[in-house]
Amino acid sequence: MALIRVVQDLSFARDLSAIQEIVRSAARALTGADGATLVLREGNECHYLDEDAVAPLWKGKRFPVQTCISGWSMLNRRAAVIPDIYTDARIPIETYRPTFVKSLVIVPIRSIEPIGAIGSYWATPHEATQEEVRTLQALADATALALENVRNYAQLEQRVQERTRKLEAAREAAQQARESAERAQRAKSGFLAAASHDLRQPLQSLALLTGTLRRMVTRPEALEVLEQQELAVRTASQLVNAILDLTKLDSGAITPEVSDFEAAGLFGELGREFTVLAADKGLELRVDCGGGTIRSDPALVAQILRNLVSNAIKYTRAGSVTLLSLRHGAGTRMEVRDTGIGISREHLPHIFDEFYQVGAGARAQRSGYGLGLSIVTRLVDLLRLKLDVSSEPGQGSVFSLEFPAGPALLTRPQGPEAPARPNGGRPAERRRVLLVEDDRSVREATRLLLSAEGHEVMTAASPAEALRHAEASGAPDLVITDYHLNAAATGLDVIAQLRGKLGRELKVILLSGDTSPSITGLVLDEHMRLACKPVNADHLLQLISELTSAVPGRHERRA
């Protein structure tokens, strides 16, 4: 039973020191000896690793394998039983003479390629019995297993430590990569915001200056030139907007803001926006909304439909374009149908590629740049929607989207529509306008346009200058302000300061070259409108007319 307990203890040993403690005491106790040693082979030496004896033996010493009895046992792979050390030629007498040893038994640890030995020693003449030899050999065999377990455990622990170090290094590398990516994302977002603003500013100046010139010249030749110039400005604006939108989508700078909204309101806005464009091509725009509440990002859904409708009008020469909404299971299905040129089977896989246009010839003959559907497919993926396309050449195309249903919403009554002022018409009355814009070229272009329309214009390049105008001249009829101003000020800061100083609400048109959701999703009060640059002259003048004659309580955002 004692040997069984020792074997069990050895099976749980996890390091060499634990084996030493167990073996040195067990070897002496199991054989009734006066001393015991644990010897390990290290190359051509025997290392007396540990001992338990009535007097010191050789703990910590090393002897050549060929000169000690432990070495003989290992080399011959069998036990050495010596009743009298002084009569056995295998014993180095001078080494043993200082000790108490008179008799001994040595057994190898492992019979094949022994790695050590265990010895028991007596202070009086004693011939080890077969039972004592078998017991000591059993202990040696258990010790061999324990040493192998310790070696395997140490290797496993080393591998675990190495793996842990690698995982920690990988974690640190991932953390550094994540921080680097976040820094790059912040830099990219900052670049996009700056690029969006800076690229749109000169386009804004061009659009307003062109609109002003159109109101000042009368020669047919000059008007024709201005018409081509306006077309070029619109084309450049569309290209800049599309490229910036693609860049934002690819960089992950756009995050959906999901909410529940009514399809009818969105369809009404799109119908008003595209009716004139369709009519200019001799097309009928049909808007048929079957109602329903949609759960998605309303601004991004509007951008998808806006691109699809615009694309349909572009590729339809005669007939109609239909924007349709209908129930589809528990959700809603929206379709944009046209009677246009259609898309052949070989072109369908490529229509969502950048700069790809069906049937596009030379660059001068192209209509647009083939980016609208690229933006659509990225927005569809971002919103996790399903987009289907069916088309036949010469028969037209159908683009369809499926949306999950949202809860029913209470529809708020809408006030009457404000009448749109015809392009180029004069305002009903002269307005006092405070214009806040830190870009000099845009500020001057806007001032020239408003002055040509008969308005009284005060210009300011900063919030402080705007406050000085208000203090000197009183409250204006309308404030037109850029959103991003110098010194980190915003147009909303200007309005808050002016309203606080004047103690009254002010009607405001907020302009911005930043089309990110943080701007387009601003919640404005009923006295404010938002328009994204570049805004052409007619649109800006129409906004002024609508806002200054708006029915109180009615709030409509224009962008």
Q: Is residue 537 part of a domain?
A: yes
Chain position carrying tokens 């338990």 = 52
Give the integer Cα–Cα distance in Å for 457 and 436: 10
Number of structural domains the chain divides into: 3
Angle at 170 between CA 165 and CA 175, to 5 degrees: 125
pLDDT digits (tens, 9 = 90+) for 27-53: 999 999 999 999 999 999 999 999 999
Same domain, 387 and 506: no
Domain of residue 495, residue span = 432-548
410 domain-assigned: no
In a domain, residue 162? The reply is no
Q: Are residues 49 and 113 in the same domain?
A: yes
**Sheet of strand 320-328: strand arrangement:** 284-289, 320-328, 331-338, 396-403, 386-392
For residue 498, the domain's CATH number is 3.40.50.2300
Indicate the residue among 124, 155, 186 that finishes a domain: 155
Most confident of 315-329, 395-409, 420-434: 315-329
**14, 147: one domain:** yes
pLDDT of residue 257: 80
The verdict on 358 and 440 lying in the same domain is: no
Regarding whether 88 and 132 lie in a shared domain, the answer is yes
Give dist(CA 529, CA 527) in Å, integer: 7
Q: Which of 94, 129, 155 is the last residue in one of the domains? A: 155
Give the separation between CA 105 and CA 97, rounded to whole angstroms.
17
CA distance 514 to 197: 6
Tell me, yes or no, whether 238 lies in a domain.
no
Range with top average pLDDT, 375-379, 483-487, 543-547: 543-547
Residues 6 or more apart whose CB falls under 8 angstroms from that of 154 comprise 15
62-64, strands of its sheet edge to edge: 62-64, 45-53, 35-42, 116-122, 103-109, 80-82
Indicate if 397 and 469 belong to the same structural domain: no
Peptide bond between residue 534 and the one before it cis (omega within 30 degrees of 0): yes
20 and 95 fall within a common domain: yes
**Is there a single domain that holds both residue 398 and residue 262?**
yes
Specify the amino acid at residue 165.
R
Say if residue 361 is in the same domain as residue 461.
no
Looking up residue 7, the CATH number of its domain turns out to be: 3.30.450.40
556 located within any domain: no
Enclosing H/E stretch for 82: strand 80-82
Indicate if 150 and 6 belong to the same structural domain: yes
Residue 434 pLDDT: 92
pLDDT at 107 over 90: yes
The CATH number given to whatever domain includes residue 307 is 3.30.565.10
Pairing of strands 45-53, 62-64: antiparallel
> Is 171 part of any domain?
no
pLDDT-derived band at 360 (thresholds 50, 70, 90) equals: very low
Do 450 and 396 lie in one domain? The reply is no
Judge contact between 246 and 378, C-beta under 8 A: yes
**105, 7: one domain:** yes
273 lies in some domain: yes
The string of pLDDT tens digits covering residues 285-324 is 998 887 677 888 888 888 888 888 988 898 888 999 998 8
pLDDT score recorded for residue 103: 96
21, part of any domain? yes
Domain boundary among 388, 403, 418: 403
